[in-house]
């Protein structure tokens, strides 16, 4: 095992045994750095902080002191962070980075008024974006949104940072009653500095909240093109569904792939059976869900120009039988049974599948129609006539297929006849 790794592991064991670790002597700085990085990766921030503080003590390099405080910043006990920051400030009272840590410590402890005062003094001194942002944070925590907005604008004017821009727009929209101005501000920023996932999503949400759905969906679509983030495409999907813009919805779903089951439903609704069959087959191969196997079989049959093709029928029936073995869904049990009956590919077996569907939904006119057709095929005319009259009583005789069945059954002859 690597010598340095042994030392790191030894240090880690010591740290777990006592909160005030005793640093081994005669170890190189690089080894302590590795140990600190290892503790950081393992989210042992308190331990990492102590390693960095020790590096600062033996080297005097302030970077290690700052790293030590950054580690403390993420510990659950904010008092440790406050104490360490104050001790560092006592030694370096004019260090602006330590003063920033001090403001952060005040914020973590909920001392917002004190943080606002300290950060204002610091920002007036440095005129740096990070200090304006700290001041804004403290003021917003106090509910002083107008002053917080002003500090955010000061920071934004120095960096044109997109996170700051997004926050400015949100404050304007939600707290300052400047809805149109917030939207205009974000549009201007995007026009000058370019769009991004963060800004596009925020602008789209502001448009949507204000009722400008056409603008919102346009921004979402453009931002999705830029970022390929599925969550942004989903926002556009919601709007298209709400507005029932099914053609645009279909195009977006085809392009993004964010909701294939929804796309499958749209294909079926639009009778695009060839596309529906291919997509259902893709979903079955991806998820092994028997429902998609059944659907791909149904859509493949419906898309066929020659529905009497023996190869087609064999494949469709085999797949439907396989799917129904696993799920026993009445819709697909009936579909399987009816195909077998209609194409004379085992009428009695087909009737057994239809009967299983009827066991689950005994009042279904469609399943009763399939059973009547099966009885007709077997020459059981009286039973076929009784069943088709039930169908007619439930749904009438407007369906062409029902009309055809009624006409055929009226002319039915028994096997004996």
User: pLDDT for 157-201, tens place per residue?
Assistant: 999 999 999 999 999 999 999 999 999 999 999 999 999 999 999
pLDDT of residue 414: 65
Domain membership flag for residue 262: no
Q: Would you state the pLDDT for residue 25?
A: 46
Predicted confidence band at 29 (pLDDT cuts at 50, 70, 90)?
low
Q: What is the pLDDT of residue 90?
A: 86
Q: What is the CATH number of the domain that holds 392?
A: 1.25.40.10
More confident residue, 397 or 152: 152
Non-local (6+) Cβ contacts of 29 within 8 A are 55, 58, 59
Residues 116/122/123/124 CA torsion (nearest 10 deg): 110
Give pLDDT, residue 47. 75
44: DSSP letter: -
In a domain, residue 58? The reply is no
Q: 11-20, 186-195, 231-240: lowest mean pLDDT where?
A: 11-20
Among the listed residues 74, 23, 17, 67, the one whose alpha carbon sits nearest the alpha carbon of residue 44: 74
Q: What is the mean pLDDT of residues 336-344?
A: 96
Does residue 210 sit within a domain?
no
> pLDDT tens across 138-151, in order?
999 999 999 999 99
Q: Confidence band (pLDDT; 50, 70, 90) for 17?
A: very low
Residue from 86, 91, 80 nearest 48 by CA: 80
Tell whether the model's pLDDT for residue 3 goes beyond 70.
no
Domain that residue 373 falls in: 328-417
**375 found inside a domain:** yes
- Residue 156's nearest CA partner among 145, 170, 171, 166 is 166
Looking at residue 7, its pLDDT comes to 39
Taking a C-beta distance cutoff of 8 angstroms, is the pair 46, 75 a contact?
yes
pTM of the model: 0.78
Answer yes or no: is 104 within a domain.
Answer: no
Domain count, the chain: 1
pLDDT at 91: 87
pLDDT of residue 12: 40
* Predicted pLDDT of residue 19: 41
**7, 27 Cβ separation under 8 angstroms:** yes
> Which of 72-81, 114-123, 213-222, 372-381 has the lowest average pLDDT?
72-81
pLDDT at 36 over 80: no
Report the pLDDT averaged over residues 375-398. 90
CB half-sphere exposure, 393, CA atoms < 13 A: 8
pLDDT for 218 beyond 70: yes
The answer to the question of residue 192 being in a domain is no
Residue 86 belongs to a domain: no
pLDDT digits (tens, 9 = 90+) for 264-299: 999 999 999 999 999 999 999 999 999 999 999 999
What is d(CA 290, CA 284) in angstroms, rounded to the nearest whole number? Answer: 7
Task: Report how far residue 11's alpha carbon sits from residue 23's, in angstroms, rounded to the nearest whole number.
Answer: 8
The per-residue pLDDT for 394 is 87
Q: What is the pLDDT of residues 298-339, one digit of tens each?
A: 999 999 999 999 999 999 999 999 999 999 999 999 999 999
Q: Is the pLDDT of residue 2 over 70?
A: no
pLDDT tens readout for residues 44-75: 777 777 777 777 778 878 888 887 788 877 77
> What would the two tokens of residue 41 be?
């990766």
User: Quick one: which of 330, 342, 404 has its CA closest to 374?
Assistant: 342
According to the model, what pLDDT value does residue 307 have?
Answer: 94
Instruction: State the average pLDDT over residues 225-233.
Output: 95
Per-residue pLDDT band for 14 (boundaries 50, 70, 90) equals: very low
What is the reported pLDDT for 354? 96
Evaluate whether residue 249 is within a structural domain. no
**Token couple for 75:** 């510990």
* Other beta carbons within 10 Å of 12: 17
């Amino acid at each position: 095992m690597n010598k340095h790794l042994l030392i790191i592991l030894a240090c880690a064991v010591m740290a777990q045994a006592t909160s005030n670790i005793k640093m081994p002597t005669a170890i190189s700085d690089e080894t302590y750095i590795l140990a600190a990085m290892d503790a950081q990766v393992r989210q042992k921030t308190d331990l990492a902080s102590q390693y960095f503080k020790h590096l600062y003590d033996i080297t005097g390099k302030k970077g290690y002191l700052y790293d030590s405080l950054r580690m403390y910043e993420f510990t659950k006990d904010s008092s440790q962070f406050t104490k360490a920051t104050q001790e560092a400030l006592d030694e370096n009272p004019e260090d602006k980075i330590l003063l920033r840590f001090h403001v952060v410590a005040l914020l973590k402890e909920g001392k917002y008024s004190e943080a606002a005062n300290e950060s204002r003094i610091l920002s007036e001194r440095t005129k740096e974006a990070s200090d304006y942002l700290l001041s804004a944070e403290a003021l917003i925590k106090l509910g002083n949104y107008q002053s917080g907005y002003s500090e955010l604008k000061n920071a934004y004017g120095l960096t044109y940072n997109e996170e700051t821009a997004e926050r400015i727009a949100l404050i304007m929209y939600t707290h300052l009653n400047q809805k149109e101005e917030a939207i205009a501000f974000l549009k201007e920023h995007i026009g000058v500095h370019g769009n991004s996932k963060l800004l596009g999503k925020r602008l789209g949400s502001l448009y949507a909240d204000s009722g400008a759905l056409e603008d919102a969906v346009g921004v979402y679509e453009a931002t999705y093109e830029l970022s390929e983030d599925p969550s942004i495409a989903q926002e556009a999907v919601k709007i298209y569904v709400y507005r029932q813009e099914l053609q645009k919805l279909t195009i977006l779903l085809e392009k993004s792939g964010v909701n294939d089951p929804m796309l499958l439903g749209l294909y079926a609704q639009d009778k695009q059976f060839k596309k529906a069959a291919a997509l259902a087959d893709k979903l079955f191969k991806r998820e092994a869900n028997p429902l998609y196997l059944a659907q791909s079989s149904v859509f493949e049959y419906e898309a066929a120009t020659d529905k009497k093709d023996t190869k087609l029928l064999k494949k469709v029936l085999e797949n439907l039988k396989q799917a129904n073995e696993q799920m026993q869904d009445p819709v697909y049990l009936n579909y399987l049974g009816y195909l077998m009956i209609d194409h004379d590919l085992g009428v009695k077996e087909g009737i057994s599948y239809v009967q299983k569907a009827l066991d689950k939904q005994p009042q279904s006119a469609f399943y009763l129609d399939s059973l009547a057709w099966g009885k007709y095929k077997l020459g059981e005319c009286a039973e076929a006539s009784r069943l088709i009259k039930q169908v007619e009583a439930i749904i009438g005789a407007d369906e062409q297929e029902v009309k055809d069945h009624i006409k055929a059954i009226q002319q039915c002859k028994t096997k004996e006849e």
